[in-house]
Structure 1
Amino acid sequence: MTTLKNCRPMGGPATDLHIAGGRFAAEAAEGGEVIDCGGRILIPGLVEAHTHLDKSLLGMAWYRNEVGPRLIDKITNEREVKVSLGLDPQVQSERQAILSVSKGTTQIRSHVDVDTHHGLAGVEGVMATREKLSGLVDIEIVAFPQSSMMPRPGTVEMMDEALSLGADLVGGIDPCGIERDPKGHLDAVFALAEKHGKPIDIHLHEQDALGGFSMEEIIARTLAHGMQGKVTISHAFCLGMTNRAYAAELHARLAEAGIHIITTAPSAVPVPAVKELKAAGILTGSGSDGIRDTWGPFGNTDMLERAMFISQRNNLRRDDEVEMALDICTYGGAAIMETQGYGLNVGDRADCVLVEGEALAEAVAMRAPRKLVLKGGAVVARDGICVREAP
């Protein structure tokens, strides 16, 4: 039983919020703990809706990156050097997840590699971390065939096993650019989803008309399988195409099919226009993608920083626009992950973060260390430090 005294929910007037049984309550209970929030802004827990917990190099020796520019170069290199580096997916996933908690993230969707080289080691490692950090952060696992399925016999069967083992979603990757077999790949992805009764989250890096073609195929299968509201397309770079009339047509069709978009707002490629997605009624979330991995040396798991990146890539400057970017990193991701009881209302789960600033936009601009992070009403981080020490 806890009272958060003098907090400002979503930057509004100062008030006291009460917590009982891990949820926000209408009244305070006698004898409960009182935490003085000092007039700081309270927001729901940040949502990391797209990352790769199994492959971060956090805490390991510096990796010198000399990998070629193509996507397939990065994929092939990573698959091979994970062995030479001695990467332990359980340890690395725990390190990244603990860092995420310290930044105010209370739930994570992680794509985890499934391939014929490493088998299910990544899934098993992240599942162990999920259990180990239960109560600190919720982790959702996407079985992700990054190295492709169709060109690598046996991968479909491993994906099937990963889903039986406990992976929460079926992943996929560029049906044309990586798989070279859009029909075979999407048939396999949707068949696995239908067999296991699980949602789908597909990486789509393909740009322009090629990406548009793959997106149309995903839309068609979503409707044919009756999976409206159960399919997410991550990255969706093609929606940043210069042909805005075609992009608008894709927006309308995505909305009709109830397909969600997750953008990481990278700097080097076209990205979906989040204001257009919102206008079309498309649920949008965000994530950090890779954190200090063999693809690149950057990333710190901070979803307030990600809201800043979304703002910069989409030229969002007004307070209400920056608030929209923050909404993508909170309510948007939570809605895509179908989180029950997310928010700051009575009855909602007490997953929340105290942030600095006079307004939400300033909180994004400052990105100061999080004063307090609660998960189910329990303190899991203070002053930017998680209560659990990383391995």
Structure 2
Amino acid sequence: MNRVVIINVRPWGGPASDVVVTDGVVAAVTAHEPARAPAPDDVAGDGRILLPSFSDVHVHLDSTLVGLPFRPHSVPSTRTLWDCVMNDRRNWRSAGAGVAERAATTLGRAIGHGLTQARSYAQVDADCRLERLEGVLAARDEHAARAEVQVVAFPQAGLLLEPGVPDLMRAALEMGADVMGGIDPCSLDQDPVEHLDIVFDLAQRHDVPVDIHLHEAGELGLFSTRLVLERVRALGMASRVTLAHSFALGQSPLDQVRPVLDRLAELDVAVTTVAPGPREGLPLLELVARGVRTGLGQDGQRDYWSPYGTTDMLDRTWQLAFTQGWNADELIEHALAVATVGGRSVVDPSSRRLTSVTDRPGVDPGDPADLVLVQGDTPTAAVMDRLGGRTVLRAGRVVAHDGVLV
């Protein structure tokens, strides 16, 4: 039996406690005993806040430029989705480092900030074929002891616009991709029936979940969402589908959106956001009130799409609270819950999920000991200040301290 005690921590900012971890699981949370003699493997909490570790459930590790010299943004100011795809295609091979190296660097930095779980997209198309997927899989393997990474085979340039892409997607799943991806079936491929036929057929053949980017706005986005929900119901794929971005849920009138949210809850379809701003942000309070699994991600990290991204999920938590217009401590802590256990429930539907803005799971007996210790007077202060000096544990084992991987 492997036993570790995390000494003098404050779970979710509560009273000083000692947390016993046995075989990678939280076994007990007791009042801190200052007189207790530490064992050699115990972890000094030093009065820091103990949180469940971060889950980045929408990141593109294959496109990151983190760690490389800064490059000016090169997408036209009149950017469309296709402009961004083609700009990336023109440049990704001359980034200065291979995909595997760049993905591993970015993932390592994210772990140093407190992440132990990610869902990363890996582009598959007629240009890169499986090269970018191979790079992300290599980064996943390099950090396998520090973080769990699900990899999505992602048709960024569509499934139907270039020859051979469905066959490449099939090969990606056979190579080890964990999730079947899709994107904008109406506005990009302009054939939602064929697009969704391919997505769901491959997912069922390979027994993997589905994750679909939906950038489509307004009524078109709601139409695509309804088409996906019809497939989920017809194919019995409840709890196995995620909708990423889902901008239409934040852009459309609530009287039109609420019936869609009810169906998301009924079919246990998850949603993820990258905290894009108030115009495109998800209606998070409406989602949590229905128990819809919701997670947070960092999207591209300083790549050919955008110069933004720090690899720090605590930064993105601040952004989520800010763009939602949340000022109350309870709501800022809810942003933390979405960034941690909310994301876990997207990746693993059987894990504990959020059912209200007051839920603070993730550090109780029976929870996995994937944890992060952060500095701050309160969880809200930790989000506002985003200080260093963090300690990150995966299955009860320290994997990073103060940004340095162990």
Of 123-132 and 45-54, more deviation after overlay is shown by 123-132
Q: Report if the CA contact (8 A) 1:2-1:32 is conserved.
A: no
* Structure-2 residue corresponding to 1:264: 274
1:338 is the counterpart of 2:340:
no
* Structure-1 residue corresponding to 2:189: 179
Of 247-256 and 171-180, more deviation after overlay is shown by 247-256
Structure 2: gaps (5+ residues)? 30-35, 353-361
* Structure-2 residue corresponding to 1:325: 335
How much has 1:363 moved relative to structure 2? 1.3
Matches of 1:26 and 1:314 in 2, distance apart?
35
How much has 1:346 moved relative to structure 2? 3.0
* Structure-2 residue corresponding to 1:19: 21
Secondary structure of 2:237's partner?
Answer: coil
Matches of 2:349 and 2:404 in 1, distance apart?
25
* Structure-1 residue corresponding to 2:388: 369
How many residues end up aligned between the 2 structures?
387
Matches of 2:349 and 2:364 in 1, distance apart?
14
Q: Report if the CA contact (8 A) 2:239-2:349 is conserved.
A: no
* Structure-1 residue corresponding to 2:7: 5
1:351 is the counterpart of 2:376:
no
* Structure-1 residue corresponding to 2:62: 54
Of 245-254 and 28-37, more deviation after overlay is shown by 28-37
User: Cα–Cα, structure 1 residues 167 and 285, in superposed 2: closer, same or farther, change >3 Å?
Assistant: same
User: Cα–Cα, structure 1 residues 99 and 198, in superposed 2: closer, same or farther, change >3 Å?
Assistant: same
User: Cα–Cα, structure 1 residues 115 and 269, in superposed 2: closer, same or farther, change >3 Å?
Assistant: farther
How much has 1:26 moved relative to structure 2? 4.0
User: Within 5 A, what are the aligned runs for 1:179-258?
Assistant: 179-258=189-268
Q: Report if the CA contact (8 A) 1:123-1:143 is conserved.
A: yes
How much has 1:87 moved relative to structure 2? 4.7
Matches of 1:268 and 1:284 in 2, distance apart?
17
Deviations 1:329-375 (A, max 9, x none): 01111011107777323343321100111221111111111421111
Q: Report if the CA contact (8 A) 1:135-1:376 is conserved.
A: no
Q: Report if the CA contact (8 A) 2:278-2:324 is conserved.
A: no
* Structure-1 residue corresponding to 2:32: none
User: Cα–Cα, structure 1 residues 108 and 243, in superposed 2: closer, same or farther, change >3 Å?
Assistant: same
How much has 1:60 moved relative to structure 2? 2.2
Of 218-227 and 310-319, more deviation after overlay is shown by 310-319
Matches of 1:101 and 1:324 in 2, distance apart?
21
Q: Output the amino acid matched with 1:352.
A: L
Matches of 2:388 and 2:351 in 1, distance apart?
26
Q: Output the amino acid matched with 2:126.
A: T
User: Within 5 A, what are the aligned runs for 1:150-161?
Assistant: 150-161=160-171
**TM, length-normalised to structure 2:** 0.91
User: Within 5 A, what are the aligned runs for 1:27-106?
Assistant: 31-68=39-76, 69-85=79-95, 87-106=97-116
**TM, length-normalised to structure 1:** 0.94
User: Cα–Cα, structure 1 residues 339 and 246, in superposed 2: closer, same or farther, change >3 Å?
Assistant: closer
How much has 1:307 moved relative to structure 2? 1.6
How much has 1:205 moved relative to structure 2? 0.4
Secondary structure of 2:42's partner?
Answer: strand
Matches of 1:120 and 1:29 in 2, distance apart?
53
User: Cα–Cα, structure 1 residues 274 and 381, in superposed 2: closer, same or farther, change >3 Å?
Assistant: same
Of 248-257 and 213-222, more deviation after overlay is shown by 248-257
Structure 1: gaps (5+ residues)? none
Identity level (%): 38
* Structure-1 residue corresponding to 2:309: 299
Matches of 1:26 and 1:302 in 2, distance apart?
29
User: Cα–Cα, structure 1 residues 30 and 353, in superposed 2: closer, same or farther, change >3 Å?
Assistant: closer
Q: Report if the CA contact (8 A) 2:268-2:292 is conserved.
A: yes
User: Cα–Cα, structure 1 residues 82 and 234, in superposed 2: closer, same or farther, change >3 Å?
Assistant: same
Matches of 2:42 and 2:92 in 1, distance apart?
47
Matches of 1:156 and 1:242 in 2, distance apart?
32
User: Cα–Cα, structure 1 residues 375 and 316, in superposed 2: closer, same or farther, change >3 Å?
Assistant: same
Q: Output the amino acid matched with 1:102.
A: G
Secondary structure of 2:62's partner?
Answer: helix
User: Cα–Cα, structure 1 residues 89 and 340, in superposed 2: closer, same or farther, change >3 Å?
Assistant: farther
* Structure-2 residue corresponding to 1:384: 403
* Structure-1 residue corresponding to 2:359: none
Deviations 1:170-197 (A, max 9, x none): 0010111111111111111010111011
Deviations 1:232-263 (A, max 9, x none): 00000001124221011211121122111101
Q: Output the amino acid matched with 1:53.
A: L
User: Cα–Cα, structure 1 residues 382 and 224, in superposed 2: closer, same or farther, change >3 Å?
Assistant: same
Secondary structure of 1:316's partner?
Answer: coil
Secondary structure of 1:33's partner?
Answer: coil
